[in-house]
A and B are shown apart, each in its own frame.
Chain A
Amino acid sequence: MEKDFSVQQSLEVIESMINQAKNKFNNDSPLYLLWGWIVLICSVGNYLLYKFQLVEKPHLIWLLLFVALIVQIIYLIKQHKKEKVKTYIDEILGYIWTSFGITMFLISFVVGQSSGNWINFYPTLLILYGIPTFLSGAVMRFLPLKIGGICCWALAITTLFISKNYYLLIIALAVIIAWIIPGYLMKSFFKKQSI
């Protein structure tokens, strides 16, 4: 059989195998949904708690992010055991989100230590949200995430024209557009692929 293996057949084998692995990446939709929903709950929660003066320190609701972090770590460990292949796309995405995570951690630390005044920082936060979201969309060639990233930047500009009291709601809107909607679209994309 191998003697008859022609140049044409060689090319067919190469093409079909490369197509099998091309543009392949892991289904990260659970992570987009996890962070999307948690940030949505925290931002809307913080807004409502503050508006109706329900508690003394409404911003403490953001501690829920630590719960999300623990859930994410458990999820990633489980996922790592399941994954059979690691593509370059997965590796790049990992680096993008790790650097974003480190940036966010350092920023919360610095802002907390210096002024503790988060409200002035929300527009910058939106600009930062846009970076990993847009990059992930570009690397995966997944349009909803690219649009999500651009919307984060657009929403950062809108903060110039509205009252600071509504910044938290802008953050909520940003995570719906940038993470929650793309998260569900990605989930259905993978569901269709597996059929």
Chain B
Amino acid sequence: MFKDLDPILHSQLRLAVMSLLISVKEAEFTFIREKTKATAGNLSVQIQKLKDAGYIEVNKQFKDNYPLTTCSITKKGIDAFEKYVKALQSYLNTDKK
């Protein structure tokens, strides 16, 4: 049924990360973890997958000697997200018919 849905986005946590990042300019890893209520380990894995797909940019730096990871969505990510939402809409429309 979901063959047209982007498999990278059609996963609860990855979709949550993308939905958060589409609404803001950039967000720290801790902010995303707080909002998605995911574990740090799982979130790291999913963020890496989104990064590998080119959907998000991950910036690692140090702040007061602590590692700091900030994420932001890329143009490719925005396009993929829009395409995904359109696909969802088309499924809903087919259901109605």
Q: Which residues of A contact B (CB under 8 A)?
A: 1-2, 5, 7, 9-11, 13-14, 16-18, 20-22, 24, 81, 84-88, 90-91
* Contact, CB under 8 Å: A17 / B10: no
The answer to whether B88 has its CB under 8 Å from any CB of chain A is yes
Chain B residues at the A interface, C-beta cutoff of 8 Å: 2, 5, 10-12, 15-16, 19-20, 22-28, 30-31, 34-36, 63-64, 85, 88, 91-92, 95
Contacts of A87 in B (CB 8 A): 23-25
Interface of B: prevailing SS: helix
Q: A11–B27 Cα gap in the complex (Å)? A: 22
Contact pick for B24, options A5, A9, A81, A88, CB 8 Å? A88
Shortest CB-to-CB span from A24 to chain B, Å, is: 7
User: Of A5, A20, A22, which one neighbours B10 at CB under 8 angstroms?
Assistant: A5
CB atoms of B11 and A2 under 8 A apart: yes
Residues of B within 8 A of A11 (CB): 88
Q: Which residue of A lies closest to B27 (CB)?
A: A85
- 19 more contacts with CB within 8 A, not counting A18-B22, A84-B31, A91-B25, are A1-B12, A2-B11, A5-B11, A7-B88, A7-B95, A10-B10, A10-B88, A16-B16, A17-B20, A17-B23, A20-B23, A21-B20, A22-B23, A24-B24, A84-B34, A87-B24, A87-B25, A88-B24, A88-B25
